[in-house]
Amino acid sequence: MRRIAAALLLATAAVAPACAFELQSHRGGRGLWPENSLTAFAGSLALGVSVLELDTRLTADDVVVVHHDARLNPELTRGPDGLWIAAPGPLLRALTLAQLSAYDVGRADPNSRHARRYPEQRGRDGEPIPTLAQVFAAVAARGDRSVRFNIETKIDPRHPEETAAPETIVERLLATIEAAGMDGRVTVQSFDWRTLRLVRQLRPGIPTVHLSAQQEFLDTIQAGRPGASPWTDGIAAADHDGSVPRMVKAAGGAVWSPFWRDPSDADLAEAKRLDLPVVVWTVNDRAEMARLIDRGVAGIITDRPDILRALMQDRGMAVPAPH
């Protein structure tokens, strides 16, 4: 327990995790509640998770809000008139916080792919996109001092017009974390490793989590291609024999977080030799969760924290206390 917690939190003053294995609630547990919402985070706390995993973006007035997509998603968003918005939705970066607060993201359009994908999600009308400060305050108000936050900077280096510059994103994120006194309870993760370098430069005590994907739908490593991927901040796979664990270690990362299908047994063994915990995303099938635990991952990010928690209990593993 102490070894994994220390590796995940480095030398920070963070509260030790409630259990050795990381049960991370993806977007607050979007298989059960509206994603990245105060309702979802409250539900995850009541269930009992180690970490609230969430996404962040900046509004036009540079407020850090908790949201995944660059644009408001028509499958998940109703306007002030109560109707589903038309595609394409507006960029979050083009809306002030006051403008953004007029939208309701509390349930999926029942005719959408999202609704079919998450049939057990319990919607809630009148759910606005929260600020990160509101999420911190809501957790503090419940008296929880143990749950941690894995905060993703949502930025795509291929589309700089959709977001603020990496420097602005990191500056505002760190200011929000510091204002809430949550420095010791956060990790910052990203596919765009530029933001992680900036976090380490400005707040070296905050551990960084290097996300990666090597799939047709997203390939952030681009092994076998000349030069570095635009996602990896100048670190080329070829310079590390194609090893993503070595790339993450060279970048100064505290944790490697690959898509769950990507790491081979050799990758996991190499990560272990490098003292680099591996937390995979996003796993919702119980059998796959069990196989990954057996293969030695340090944690799982899941849309269904209830399934992972039940599996851990059935195996006699320590589980986080509910709040």
- Are 74 and 84 spatial neighbours (Cβ–Cβ below 8 Å)? yes
> How high is the pLDDT of residue 108?
97
Model pLDDT for residues 20-73, shown as the tens digit of each residue: 899 999 999 999 999 999 999 999 999 999 999 999 999 999 999 999 999 999
> How high is the pLDDT of residue 212?
98
CATH topology of domain 2-69+130-314: TIM Barrel (3.20.20)
- The torsion angles phi and psi of 254, rounded to 5 degrees, stand at -90, -25
Q: How many other CB atoms sit within 10 Å of the CB of residue 255?
A: 25
- The torsion angles phi and psi of 74, rounded to 5 degrees, stand at -60, -25
In terms of Cα–Cα distance, which of 246, 255, 149 is closest to 200? 255
What does the block give as tokens for 9? 């939190």
Evaluated on CA atoms 160, 279, 209, 228, the torsion sign reads negative
Question: Which residues are CB-neighbours of 97 under 8 A, at least 6 positions away?
Answer: 59, 61, 63, 65, 131
Going by pLDDT thresholds of 50, 70 and 90, the confidence category of residue 148 is very high
- Are 303 and 278 spatial neighbours (Cβ–Cβ below 8 Å)? no
- Are 172 and 188 spatial neighbours (Cβ–Cβ below 8 Å)? no
Model pLDDT for residues 260-313, shown as the tens digit of each residue: 999 999 999 999 999 999 999 999 999 999 999 999 999 999 999 999 999 999
Q: What is the DSSP string of 99-135?
A: HHTT-B-SS--TTSHHHHH-TT----TT-PPPBHHHH
SS3 234: coil
Domains of the chain by residue range: 2-69+130-314
Is the pLDDT score of 10 beyond 50?
no
In terms of Cα–Cα distance, which of 27, 32, 55, 51 is closest to 43? 32
Q: What is the DSSP string of 167-185?
A: HHHHHHHHHHHHHTT-GGG
Question: Which residues are CB-neighbours of 316 under 8 A, at least 6 positions away?
Answer: none
Model pLDDT for residues 228-237, shown as the tens digit of each residue: 999 999 999 9
Q: How many other CB atoms sit within 10 Å of the CB of residue 204?
A: 13
> How high is the pLDDT of residue 19?
56
